[in-house]
Amino acid sequence: MFFESFLLNLLILLILILALLFDYVTKYFSYWYIRHIPNKTPIPCFGTDYHRIIGFRSTSQEVDTLYKQYSEKFVGCIKSRIPDLIVKDPDVVRKILSTDFLNFHSRGLGLDKSRDVCLRNNLFYVEGEKWTLLRDTLETLLNNMKFETQEGLHDCLSGINGDTNIEQLLCMILDIVFKDLLIGNDVEECIITHLRQRAIKRSFKDKAKTYLKNIFPSLFVLFNLESSLTTECLKVRNINETKLYKGFKKAKSISQLDSKSIKVRAENEIELGVLSLFITEGYIPCYNVLTALLYELAKHPEIQERARNNENNLNLAIKETLRLYSPYANITRKCIGRYLASKDLLIDKGVMITIPTSSMQKDETLFNDPESFKPERFEKTDAVDGFYPFGMGPKKCVGKSVTYSIRCKLFPYTINLANITKDRHFIRHLIQAVALKMRVSAVTWPLAPLQTFYDYLITILEP
């Protein structure tokens, strides 16, 4: 039915369009309410995610706020317009990540279709058969990796006796370790150092792309965007001479992997994608966790002494650091088929799942005195409810098997807090430099000519 007035017809049409758009945007706003799941009130276009979208909170802060706000095992929220379920029950988490993995194997981001070479060949984002082939190849590669070079570490550590910026020191050490593992001594180019600097020192444009990738991944794919790290990876020369390339070519599944890359933009793009993966999901988590580990050991000299005298105590200190400073705050999954999570909750296909690992690892109902650094809590068993630094099930950390076997060996040092660090609050996101006072000390447990301060290296997390 139309009216004679053009303006009236146009007004009615606009009202209908707005009504349909409003219905589309708010379609799932009552999703959790009718299922009697506690939830935060959503608003159009933002859902319950408005604090995160406008930048008032990070993803981890938003999830942690909801985690603490509700005592129930499940908390509902709406990301833009899609239902998202925060799972706090350790038993249900184990089922989702392990027992019923086939129903939650997808992360649901769609970045495997991205123009970005590194993202679409990243173990975090690929799906289906390509994920299986890439994981098998990476496991073979990691199992054959050996750390050999120590001369460079001697150069880094020689002469250290006093206040030291531990972050700068760790960067130098990790550059040497990752170069030896991935590049080898045949390539003179400082590939690892260059990529690390690009990953850490991001411009405003880089941060905007990261924001879009995390908040609206479909738009990131639609606009054919790519990260600056990918741009730098594509400039890498001599990739054919690296240990990474040679190790990949020995893998039986590499030819199958190449066939899964539908749109090839660059030669050896699988290897370039994996190189980027080692930087973003290996180097950076190592860098953050090791900084936190040394900081905590400096704060607790009695724990430091036990760690220096016994390898098992060192491993306990590493686990406690992973609990307090989780490399990844959340694990995300997408439900690909209807799933009975409990007798009162049926999860529909397409619903996103968020597992708040960082919040669970600081939950006082799961850990006694969770804010304190107490490595002894892991003395009895590794299977602690709520402790998932490596994930669980088929998608658990692909580098876990070598995490405690590949070691960066340092001279035995005693570390203490420097004056500029003692009174500063240490937060999860390491913004300011951490300065520690280091001095040479005697050791009582032999591991080699050099002493181990950490085992958390070459870890690729796949939550």
Contact call for residues 158 and 173 (beta carbons, < 8 A): no
From 88, 108, 104, 83, select the one nearest 32 (Cα to Cα).
83
> Which tokens belong to 72?
């129930």
203-221 as b/e: b if 16+ CB within 10 A: eeeeeebeeebebebeebb
The conformation of residue 77, written as its DSSP 8-state character, comes to: E
Contact call for residues 297 and 332 (beta carbons, < 8 A): no
151 exposure class (CB count in 10 Å sphere: 0-12, 13-18, 19+): exposed
Task: Please name the amino acid found at residue 250.
Answer: K
Contact call for residues 210 and 202 (beta carbons, < 8 A): yes
From 70, 61, 64, select the one nearest 40 (Cα to Cα).
70
Residue 397 annotated as part of some ligand binding site:
yes
Beta-bridged to residue 342, according to DSSP, are: 345
The continuous run of DSSP H or E covering 416 comes out as strand 413-417
> Which tokens belong to 416?
């203490």
Report the Cα 457 to chain-centroid distance in Å: 14
Strands 331-334, 413-417: pairing is unpaired
Phi then psi dihedrals of residue 355, to 5 deg: -110, 110
How many Cβ atoms are within 10 Å of 150's Cβ, its own excluded? Answer: 15
Q: Is 398 in a helix, a strand, or coil?
A: coil
The continuous run of DSSP H or E covering 217 comes out as helix 217-222
Token pair 């005693």 is found at 414
Residue 388 has, within 13 A of its CA and on its CB side, a CA count of: 31
Which residue numbers belong to the known binding site?
397
Residue numbering of the annotated binding site for heme: 397
